[in-house]
A = this chain, B = another copy of it.
Amino acid sequence: MAAVDLTTHPGHLARRLQQAHYLLWNTMVSEEITSPQFAVLNTLVAEPGLDQRTVGERVGLDRSTIAEVIGRLIRRGLLDKVRDPQDGRRFLLRLTDEGMRTHRRLTVRTARMNQVFLAPLDPGEQAVFIELMRRVADAAEGLRDPAPAPTAAH
């Protein structure tokens, strides 16, 4: 008694949604390259030479996780990492030719997969769905750091 209906809990649904996507990605896009890895490649296609932290910020991964993901991409030969001569703390990232090719190849499949993923919704609903997810995710993004006390000079 007093049990709750989890199908009304957005967090539970978000998890199931992500699992569904993970599965679909694996069968329709790639078994080697994961969705977060593709996100990193995509970011570096748009902005070559970014540093690790910034890439993480773009795709929504913290410094530890982005380091792991980048490590795997380098091991696979899709990425290069060189120290920034201007700032010895940073590493600058750049796709290899193989990385470029992989990104191009997966981009097509990703588009197909997105269609299948959203197929249960009609086009209008799809747009609404994307829009609502974005708003919720963006809002929560703002809650990460508890706002550095707005210069409260009494």
Residues of A within 8 A of B (CB): 1-4, 6-21, 23-25, 35-36, 39, 42-43, 45-46, 59-60, 103-104, 107, 110, 113-114, 117-121, 125, 128-130, 132-141, 143-144
Please tell me if the beta carbons of A42 and B134 are within 8 angstroms of each other in the complex. no
Please tell me if the beta carbons of B140 and A21 are within 8 angstroms of each other in the complex. yes
Q: Which residues of B contact A121 (CB under 8 A)?
A: 132, 135-136
Q: Which residues of B contact A135 (CB under 8 A)?
A: 120-121
Please tell me if the beta carbons of A21 and B17 are within 8 angstroms of each other in the complex. no
Please tell me if the beta carbons of B137 and A13 are within 8 angstroms of each other in the complex. yes
A81 and B80 CA atoms in complex are apart in Å by 50
Given contacts A2-B45, A45-B3, A60-B15, contact A8 B139 (CB under 8 A): no
A80 and B133 CA atoms in complex are apart in Å by 38
Please tell me if the beta carbons of A3 and B128 are within 8 angstroms of each other in the complex. no
